[in-house]
Amino acid sequence: MNDSPQDQPKQSWWRRLSAGLKRTSSSLGTAVADLVTKRKLDRAMLDDIEDVLLRADLGTEVAARIAEAVGKGRYDKSVSAEDVTTIVATEVEKVLSPVAKPLEIDATQKPFVILVVGVNGSGKTTTIGKLAAKLSAEGRKVMLAAGDTFRAAAIEQLKVWGERNKVPVVARAQGSDSASLAFEAVEAAKAQAMDVLLIDTAGRLQNKTELMVELEKVRRVIGKVDASAPHAVLLVLDATVGQNALSQVDAFHKTAGVTGLVMTKLDGTARGGILVALSEKYKLPVHFIGVGEGIDDLAPFTARDFARAIAGQDN
């Protein structure tokens, strides 16, 4: 066992990820095992395997591809559950590898402006707190902007993350215009030579047109201070919502120009497979995954780990 200090955090979040995805992986594993025992492989079995994969939220294309890969050269032969889950891991990794990309901070942009968007309760504010910790630890000067001006509690919540990270927070009274707050924050970050500005926004349902229009306004107004900003627009998705994540990506991508995804709450859901369906369909970069509520519970997204966790394999 390699237990050097550097490996411990990695181990602990891998454990949480694989434990979190246990409900997906074990139901998949059990269903596959039930299907393949004492039978030779035929079309009907492949259809059943495809159904199991669909129930794991992997999406129609990926499910069909995996079933096809399982069928290749195995007709009329017996297959083991391991054969199938190994193929699941391989095919899922192929889908995820091109989208697993780190969030790159262009140091020539001062500040590098990151707008954080998503539906209510997806984990935006918490993700900002966790990101601020990571970026500060890398030696960057970080500022936060309390762009969720709807609720007093939202402003307070971001201030708490600011204190915890010892980074400044630009905030205004509840009910202020969030676009002007964002404008002010970019100016302040510029004046104070910040490296990164993280802008929080209020949660909004993707089908509420007026709120989505407001988001476009926030974007536009930020662009008035710095035409190249925002430099990144992160869509925070809650893994537990399953298929609804697809319409969230669709709507936020159109209105807010999403540049990358963060998927939260992977520490306790049977629906993590949705990240595979999303990656296949939209091919947007996935930067981080949230595996808990704590400040260290944000992990860079890696295709292989995720694929193996979904398939229930050991790391």
Q: Which is nearer to ligand GTP, 143 or 262 (CB)?
A: 262
Residue 242 contacts which entry, Mg ion, ligand GTP, none (Cβ below 5-8 A, type-dependent): none
Segment interacting with ligand GTP, rule: CB under 6 A, options 10-18, 29-37, 91-99, 261-269: 261-269
Q: Is residue 47 near ligand GTP by the rule CB under 6 A?
A: no
125 binds Mg ion (CB under 5 A): yes
The reply to whether 202 sits in an annotated binding site is yes
Name which of 148 and 195 has its Cβ closer to ligand GTP: 148
Q: Which does 118 bind (CB under 5 to 8 A by kind): ligand GTP, Mg ion, none?
A: ligand GTP
148 binds ligand GTP, rule: CB under 6 A: yes
Q: Which uninterrupted H or E stretch holds 173? A: none
Contact 170, 198 (CB under 8 A): no
Told to check if 272 binds ligand GTP by CB under 6 A, we report no
Q: Find out whether 48 is annotated in a ligand binding site.
A: no
Min. distance of Cβ 132 from ligand GTP in angstroms? 13
Q: Residue 293, interface with ligand GTP (CB under 6 A)?
A: yes
Touching Mg ion, residues 133-162 (CB under 5 A): 154
Q: Smallest distance from the beta carbon of 160 to Mg ion, in angstroms?
A: 12
- Matching residue, tokens 């030779």: 40
Alpha-helix runs per DSSP H in the chain: 7-20, 22-36, 43-55, 60-71, 81-96, 124-137, 152-165, 178-191, 209-225, 244-256, 274-282, 303-310
Residue 238 makes CB contacts below 8 A (sequence gap 6+) with 118, 119, 121, 122, 123, 245, 263, 264, 265
**CA 209 – CA 63 distance, rounded (Å):** 33
Residue 178 beta carbon to ligand GTP: minimum distance, rounded to whole angstroms = 12
Asked if 218 is part of the footprint of ligand GTP (rule: CB under 6 A), the reply reads no
Least Å distance between CB 221 and ligand GTP? 20
How far apart (Å, rounded) are the C-alpha atoms in residues 254 and 269?
A: 27
Is residue 203 at the binding interface for ligand GTP, with CB under 6 A as the rule? yes
Structure tokens at 13: 């979040």
29 binds ligand GTP (CB under 6 A): no
What Cα–Cα distance (Å) separates residue 281 from each residue in 47, 249, 250?
Answer: 22, 10, 10
CB 218 within 8 A of CB 134: no
* DSSP-based three-state secondary structure for 91: helix
3-state SS string over 109-127? Answer: CCCEEEEEECCCCCCHHHH
Binding-site residue positions for GTP? 118-125, 200-204, 264-267
List of residues contacting ligand GTP (CB under 6 A): 118, 120-126, 148, 154, 203, 264-265, 267-268, 290-293, 297
